[in-house]
Structure 1
Amino acid sequence: MNSSWSKPFTTTNLQYFHTLPAIEDITPDWAWGGSTGKGIKVAVIDSGVDASHPALSGGVNGYMAIRERPDGLIYDTEPHEDDYGHGTACAGIIRSFAPECEIYSVKVLGPALAGRGSIFTAGLRWAIENGMHICNLSLGTPKKDFLAPLHELADLAYFRNIMLVASANNMTLPLFPSIFASVFSVASHDINDPYVFYYNPSPPVEFGALGINVRVPWLNGSWTTTTGNSFATPHIAGIITLIVGKHHGITPFQVKTILHALSSNTAHTMPTDRVQAQKDG
C-alpha cells in the first residue's frame, strides 16, 4: 500500500507544469523583460520604511510593527516610520528594479538597528503567513538559539514558494537564516551596475551583488552612500521580484536556476576569450 507521501505521484493526482528553457536559452529578456513587479508582495523586514521618500513612489502598501512586552508580543498594523534609515534604503533599492511591486514594511528593528531574535522570528512568520511573495532580510542573528525556529520558517517559506533573500554576515561568522540552503544568501561586490550579479559555486553564500559604495535613500527624504551586504541583498530581491512578476507560480529552486544561468560569471554569459582562458588555465 502506498504511503500518503506517494499520493502526489499517483495517476489521478499527478500535476503537470512547464519546464524552464535550456540553460543557454535563458536570457534577461526571457527572465524579466517587461516585468515591473506588479502584484508582487515584498516584505522588507527591517527598521521600518519611510513611505514619503521620493524613492518610494507608490508608498508602502502595508505595515506590521512587532514589539515585545512582558505579557507577550504586540502586532501593530498602523503606519510607522523608519527608525534608522536601513529599511528605507532596502525598500528603495527594490523599487528601483520593480516600481510596481507592493512593499510591506515589517518593523522588527529599533533606533540602534538592534532587535530581539524573538521579534525577528515573529516578523518573518507574519510575512510567510500573510501572503508575501518575497522577503528581504538584510539582517539576521548569529545566536544558535534561533537556528531551529528560523530553519523551520525557511523550510515553510520554501514549500510555499516564498523567496527569502538574506544577507550574509559582514564578518566571518555564520548568520541565520542566510546559511540555510533554501535561502538566497547574498554578499557584496563593487561593480557599479545594479544588474551585475555573481554566483558562488561554493556556498553557503550563493550570490554577490552591488553592495559597496551604494547610493541609497535614507531618512527625511535624504540620500547617502553606504556599504554592506545589507544593500547587496535588495539588489537580488529586486531582480527576483521582476522574475516572479513575469513567471507566476515559479519556485525558489527554479529562480535559483535562472540566477545561476544569468550570473555574470557563468560561462555562457562571459566573453569567449575569458572562457577559453579559464579552460587553458
Structure 2
Amino acid sequence: MTKRIRSFPLMSMAVLAMAITACGTTPSVGAPTGTDAGGDRQLVTLRIGPGVTSAALSAALSGAQVLVFDHTTGRAVLSVPAATAGTLAPGSMSTQALGSLDAGVLGVEPDGVMKVLTDDPEADALGATTWAGGLTTWAGGLTTWAGGAITWAGGTSFLNNTDLTSATAYWNRLGLSTAQQKIPELGSGVKVAVIDTGLDMAHPLLQGRIDSAGGWDYVGGDGNPQEENTGGKYGHGTAVAGIVLQIAPNAKVIPMRALAPDGSGRISNVTAAVNRAVSVGARVINLSLGSTSNSVALNTAISAALAQGVLVVNSSGNAGTQGIVYPGAGLGTTFGVNSGLFAVGSVTLGLQKSAFTQYGANMSMTAPGELVLTTYPDARLVKASGTSFAAPAVAGALALALSTGASSASVITAVKASATLNQDLLFNLQLGAGTLNVGALAGKFR
C-alpha cells in the first residue's frame, strides 16, 4: 500500500538488489487465465469433502472457474457468473446446482476490488501522470542504468555520499550487514511471490533474481507479468521487489501481476495469485495491497497457503488511522496472531510511528517505510514511502531466515521476538512486537 514514491537518479545503485555484504497437499492451480471480468461474476467459497474433485465442481456450476481447491483445509473458491451464484445459498449443504457432491456453500460475495491504498488525494487525482505528489519529471531527470550489475563488496558503491548515507542509515536500522554476514545463503533457495502491479522484467538490478516461469499476469491473462506504464501506480511492484531483494539478495521473486497500473485489481486476481504462488513453490507471499472489506474467498486462499507453511506479509494501510486493512485486519479473528500472516506498519528510522501508517492492537510489527531507496522501471531508482514499502522488508527477512533451513513456525516466533522496541510512547501498544531487526533475527539461527 503506497503513500508516495519519489524518483532517484539511478547512475548508481548496484548495491540495491544484489547485497549489502557483497541481496498436507499443495493447493491445485487451475488454468491461470485473467479473471478481471468485473461485476458480472461472483466468488463462491465452498466446504469440500475428501471425495470431491475440482473437475466435478467445475462441471456442476455453469461457467465456473476454480481459483482455489485444497483438500488440506477442505475448502475451494470458485469464480462464477452472477446467475449461477444466485442459485447458491450460503450455509446450504446441498443445492440443485451442486447435486450430490459433498460440498457446502460457505459464502457468496461480489468479485470486488482490492488496491494499493493511499491517503494522498493529489497523487490519486493525478492518475497516470505520476504517483509522486504532483511531480511531472523525476528528480535528477531520467537517468538510466550504466555500468552493469555490480555487487557491493567491501563498501564499493556508485552512490554519492549523501545518498549512500541515507541508504546506509536504513540498512543499519535493520542490522542488515550483521544479518547477511551471519546468513551467507542470503535467501538462496527461497522464493518470494510479489502479488502487485507486475515487475520490470528487464531491470538490471533484478536480473537473475526473477522466477519468470512461476509468474503470471492475471490482468492480461498471459505469462508476462511486465509492469505497464499506463497508470498512476506504475512501478509499485518493481519497487516492492527491490526491497525484498535488498534484504535477501539470493532469493527469487515470483512476479504475480494481479493489479492494473492504477493500483487496483479484482479479489479473484489476488485470490488466484495466492493459490498459484503456493503451487509454484513460494515460501513467502508479499501483499502490499488491501481492502476495507473482508473477503471470505481471499481468506480461504491465504488459509490454504498458511496450512502449507507459506508465510504471508500484508501492509497495514496508509490512512493514518486506527484499524488496519484486510486481509491483515483478520488477525486475531479469522487468523491466529502466530498463524504466519503478518500485518506490517511503518515507522521512521527513529522508531516513531509514520504519520501515514494505519495501526491497531492486532498489528504484527513495523519496519522503516519512509524514503526507502529501491528499484523502479526503466533501469531507475526511487525513494519510496508507505506501508507498501515496509512490508517487503519483513518478507525479505523471512526469506533470509528460511534460507538457513529453519522451519516456518520457528521463523514466525523469531522475527517478532527479535524486533526492536519502538520509541513512540503514544502508539506503541498498537504497533505490534516492534520494528524489524534483521541482525537480531539472524542471531536466532546462527
TM over 0.5: yes
**Cα distance, 1:170 vs structure 2:** 1.2
Deviations 1:183-229 (A, max 9, x none): 11101011189xxxxxxxx7421110010121221121111222100
Question: Quick one: distance in 1 between partners of 2:181 and 2:418?
Answer: 9
Cα deviation code 1:24-56 (max 9, x no counterpart): xxxx76996223111111101000111222331
Runs of 4+ in 1 over 4 A off after TM superposition: 28-32
The match for 1:233 among 374, 383, 391 is 391
Distance (Å, rounded) in 2 between the aligned partners of 1:50 and 1:192: 32
Aligned residue type for 1:152: T
Normalising to structure 2: TM-score of the pair?
A: 0.46
Counterpart residue number, 2:254: 104
Secondary structure, in 3 states, of the residue corresponding to 2:373?
Answer: strand
The aligned counterpart of 1:166 is 314
| 2:324 pairs with 1:186 | no
Amino acid corresponding to residue 64 of structure 1 in structure 2:
W
Aligned to 1:136: 286
The sequence identity of aligned pairs, in percent, is 30
Partner of 2:219: 67
Q: Distance in 2 between matches of 1:204 and 1:82?
A: 35
**Please, what TM-score do these two structures have when normalized by structure 1?**
0.72
For structure 2, list consecutive stretches of 5 or more residues without a partner in the other structure: 1-177, 332-338, 352-359, 423-433, 435-446
Task: Letter of the 1:78 partner, please give it.
Answer: N
Whichever of the two has the greater Rg, that structure is 2
Task: Check conservation: 2:225, 2:257, Cα contact below 8 A.
Answer: no
Q: 1:264 aligns with which of 397, 412, 420?
A: 420
Q: Which has the higher helix share?
A: 1
Structure 2 letter corresponding to 1:38: S
Structure 1 Cα separation of the partners of residues 242 and 363 of structure 2: 23
- Is the CA contact (8 Å cut-off) linking 2:185 and 2:250 kept in structure 1? no
Instruction: Name the counterpart of 1:93.
Output: 243
Cα distance in 2 for residues equivalent to 1:82 and 1:93: 20
Contact 2:275 2:305 in 1 (8 A): no
Q: Taking structure 1 as reference, are residues 141 and 260 closer, same or farther at Cα in structure 2, changes over 3 Å only?
A: same
Map of 1:1-281 to 2, 5 A cutoff?
Answer: 33-62=183-212, 63-67=215-219, 74=221, 76-78=222-224, 80-81=226-227, 83=229, 84-144=234-294, 146=295, 148-171=296-319, 172=321, 173-181=323-331, 182=339, 183-191=341-349, 203-248=361-406, 250-251=407-408, 253-265=409-421
Please state how far the C-alpha of 1:115 moved relative to its aligned partner: 1.3
Q: Distance in 2 between matches of 1:214 and 1:97?
A: 12
Q: Secondary structure at the match of 2:349?
A: coil
CA deviation after TM superposition for structure 1 residue 66, in Å: 0.6
Relative to structure 1, the CA distance from residue 209 to residue 82 in structure 2 (aligned partners, 3 Å threshold; closer, same or farther) is farther
Gaps of 5+ in 1: 1-27, 69-73, 194-201, 270-281
Label 1:188 to 1:39 Cα distance change in 2 as closer, same or farther (>3 A).
same
